[in-house]
Amino acid sequence: MTATAARPSNSRGPRVRAPRGGRLRLPAVWRTPLAIVGAVIALAWVVVAFTAPLWVPYPPDAQMLPRLLPPGTDGAILGTDALGRDLFSRLMSGAGVTIPLSLMLVAASVVIGTVIGASAGYFGKWVDEVLMRITDLFMAFPTVILAMVVAASLGPSLFNAVIAAIVVSWPQYARVTRSLVLGLRGQNYVIAGRLLGHSPLRSLLADIAPNITGPVVVLAALDIGSAILLLSGLSFLGLGAQPPTAEWGSMISSALQNFDAWWIGLFPGLAILTVVMAFNFIGDSLRDALDPSSRTERAASGVVAAPKTEDEALKGTGASA
């Protein structure tokens, strides 16, 4: 808490100030062990995703080894699959398929969801009604079922699986953004901006957006894990990546045909587990840092709990909505 102590003490009164800066306080976030573990694992996977083609021992699709080699034999660190492809090479190349696509689909969902949610919340009335009923329509279906319907109707391909995942994941951003904007648009500083002649776009971008980025970033970080799961899930079901593309979900799917070769399914499964957990750790830590209502543990460990200000309280409801 040196950051708080270092601030000039021009504050009057006994009120303890929240240690929140104008910028994201990343240093405080990274101080928790969970965040460090998550960040290290996630970073490692991202590096693998972008560099794998340069250093994997075999081309991911090359059937140049004996079939069904157990891990550790003949230079195949993780063994080979039923077609004699090196599992390690496929696993590492698979990161390059799943992770960038998941990040892209989360980014696309955030953009679509926040634009729709912010418009609904800011303009209200019939705009709100129409947009939120459309959102409800998408939310009414179970995520995976709807994604399956979309992917199946577009035809099985990785690209269509991403579209299907975007279709099912934007509504939650719309809902959260709408509720945040709804609370913020009546704030005095937003009204002050409107009195200064800000256009709706400027009001949203300059006055409101900086106050909702925190909760939306947290939501997005937590959502990366589910996006990876959803994408691999669709591939597992045969609606995403098509053979011979090395993709974790489809690799697990192919393991079902060789049940006694445990390594074929185990390692892609572990890969999904570690990367999803890593992104969830990051999301959790970000939420702890930005949302005072979940800061109880840190308060117990000697950090003074900050009094809730109105916008922080809002963030709490937003992040848990």
Strand partners, 76: 73
The conformation of residue 71, written as its DSSP 8-state character, comes to T
* Residues 120-159, mask of contacts with another protein (x by CB under 8 A): --xx------------------------------------
Q: How far is CA 95 from CA 52, 78, 142, 233, 241, in A?
A: 8, 15, 27, 15, 13
Binding to another protein by residue 194, rule CB under 8 A? yes
Binding to another protein by residue 273, rule CB under 8 A? no
Contact window for another protein (CB under 8 A) among 128-136, 142-150, 269-277, 307-315: 307-315
* Cα–Cα–Cα angle for 155, 161, 164, rounded to 5 degrees: 95
Q: How far is the CB of 11 from another protein (least distance, A)?
A: 5
Alpha-carbon span 36 to 25, nearest angstrom: 15
Given candidates 86, 128, 207, 284, which one binds another protein under the rule CB under 8 A?
207
Contact 279/38 with Cβ under 8 angstroms?
yes
Contact window for another protein (CB under 8 A) among 36-44, 170-178, 197-205, 235-243: 197-205
Contact window for another protein (CB under 8 A) among 35-43, 94-102, 132-140, 187-195: 187-195
Given candidates 72, 100, 142, 210, which one binds another protein under the rule CB under 8 A?
210
Alpha-carbon span 120 to 115, nearest angstrom: 9
Q: Which residues contact 7 (CB under 8 A, 6 or more apart)?
A: 17
Applying CB under 8 A, which residues contact another protein? 7-8, 10-13, 17-18, 20-22, 122-123, 187-189, 191-200, 206-207, 210-211, 309-311
